[in-house]
Amino acid sequence: MKLVFAGTPDFAVPSLLAADARHEVVAVYTQPDRPAGRGRALTASPVKQMALERGLTVHQPERLKGAEVLDTLRALEPDLMIVVAYGLLLPQAVLDIPRFGCWNVHASLLPRWRGAAPIQRAIQAGDAETGVCLMQMEKGLDTGPVLMRQSTLITPEDTGGSLHDRLAALGAQVLADGLGLLRAGIHPERKVQPEAGVTYAHKLDKAEARLDWSQAAGMLADTVRAFNPWPVAEAEVAGERLRIHAATALPLAHAQTPGTVLFAGRNGIDIACGEGALRLLRVQRAGGRTIDVADFLNARSDLRGAGV
């Protein structure tokens, strides 16, 4: 089959490789190069880098609109367009071009967590499981019928980064299975999403990363995991702003003001929360690298053994 692939970040790369393994990818669409890094140099997306490495044709329109963009896509005569974390909404005119329409690999068990940040929102909400869906795209945001799905448990050790990588691989497998069926002349069954259970995974904002000690420790621990590796949770600890890379909730009863250091030792720094306590395990000082709490306390000797 002749495929057009549209994707941008690391999450989409395994799906691109799956599509290119047994089918003809006639073009890859990805976001324009953006400034990145300390030097803010224009940098190609991970999908573009992989596409060029594999000798695939790359298109980078600012929008999927306009006669020229649509004519270019029509000239490719695609059987199917695959969209994975592309970053642009597809207008109806684009959805209508491929013979079999457009498929999307989405990192949640739809209709839960439609939208931009389903991986992080699932962890932040304390969900026990998540997964990937292969969806037939329509004009609405992640509203199309589901063709195939695969679930995975969210473990207490999962972070936004580890779950991202697992779902990226799972999404590529589901896509490969769907493409295999279509290549054999079998159209995956379209299952309309139920109206019950719809939630939206709004885009992550750095402002959300600041921890509110008045919240329950379990909620804060989930936020720390969800926001690792980006945007990384941060909080005021003993008068110093720290980024929190790893923490765990303790079912500890106390009568202290939220934000109070209950104890500081090599095993962690326990902070009073609205309910329970949050034990900080790995932190980052301003301008520094990520370190274990034991190393942090070497620099903050005033805190060693501190507590109420």
User: Is 78 or 304 the better-scoring residue by pLDDT?
Assistant: 78
- Asked whether 244 and 283 are in contact (CB, 8 A), the reply is yes
Tens digit of pLDDT for each residue in 214-225? 999 999 999 999
**pLDDT of 164 over the 80 cut:** yes
When divided into structural domains, the chain yields a total of: 2
pLDDT of residue 110: 98
Please name the residue that has the structure tokens 């942090």.
Answer: 296
pLDDT tier, 306 (very low <50, low <70, confident <90, very high otherwise): low
pLDDT at 68 over 70: yes
Distance CA 111, CA 79 (A): 27
Phi and psi (nearest 5°) for 156? -60, -20
Task: For residue 78, name the pLDDT band (cuts at 50, 70, 90).
Answer: very high
Of all helices (H) and strands (E), which one includes residue 20? helix 13-22
Tokens representing 114? 């439609």
Mean pLDDT of 175-204: 96
- Dump the DSSP string for 77-108: --SEEEEES-SSPPPHHHHTSSTT-EEEEESS
Q: Is a pLDDT exceeding 90 seen at residue 15?
A: yes
Average pLDDT, the chain: 96
Which of 153, 184, 201 marks a domain boundary? 201
Q: Residue 13: enclosing H or E segment and its boundaries?
A: helix 13-22
Q: Is the pLDDT of residue 308 over 80?
A: no
- Give the residue from 144, 21, 22 showing the smallest Cα distance to 83: 144
Summarised one tens digit per residue, pLDDT across range 109-120 is: 999 999 999 999
Report if residue 308 sits inside a domain. no
Closest of 212, 227, 210 to residue 122, by C-alpha: 227
256-297 pLDDT, tens digit per residue, is 999 999 999 989 999 999 999 999 999 999 999 999 999 999
Residues 160 and 227 in one domain: no
Instruction: Reply yes or no on whether the pLDDT at 131 is more than 80.
Output: yes
Closest CA to 143 of 182, 104, 170: 104
* CATH number of the CATH domain containing 84: 3.40.50.170
The single-letter code of the amino acid at 58 is V
Cβ-based neighbour number of residue 101 at 10 Å: 15
**Which of the listed residues 201, 216, 241 is the one where a domain comes to its end?**
201
Residue 136 located in a structural domain:
yes
Percentage of the residues of the chain whose pLDDT score is greater than 90: 92
Full domain range(s) for residue 81: 2-201
Residue-wise pLDDT for 172-187, tens only, equals 999 999 999 999 999 9
Is residue 109 marked as binding? yes
Say if 152 falls within a structural domain. Answer: yes
Asked whether residue 187 falls in the same domain as residue 242, the answer is no
Does pTM surpass 0.85?
Answer: yes
pLDDT of 307 above 80: no
Indicate whether 146 belongs to any domain. Answer: yes
Are residues 225 and 279 part of one domain?
yes
Cα distances (Å, whole numbers) of residue 102 to 29, 96, 99, 114, 261 = 13, 8, 9, 17, 53
Tell me the Cα Rg of the chain: 23
Answer whether residue 155 is part of any domain.
yes
Structure confidence at residue 38 as a pLDDT band (50, 70, 90): confident
Q: What is the CATH number of the domain that holds 296?
A: 3.10.25.10
* Chosen domain end from 175, 201, 227: 201
pLDDT at 99 over 90: yes
Q: Is residue 232 part of a domain?
A: yes
Give the torsion through C-alpha atoms of 22, 48, 117, 2, to 10 deg: -30
Which residue, among 158, 172, 167, 86, has the nearest Cα to 127 in the 3D structure? Answer: 158
111 is in an annotated binding site: yes
Residue 250 known to bind ligand: no
* Stretch 155-183: mean pLDDT: 97
> Is residue 84 included in any domain, yes or no?
yes
Under 8 Å between Cβ of 226 and 123? yes
User: pLDDT class for 304, splitting at 50, 70, 90?
Assistant: confident
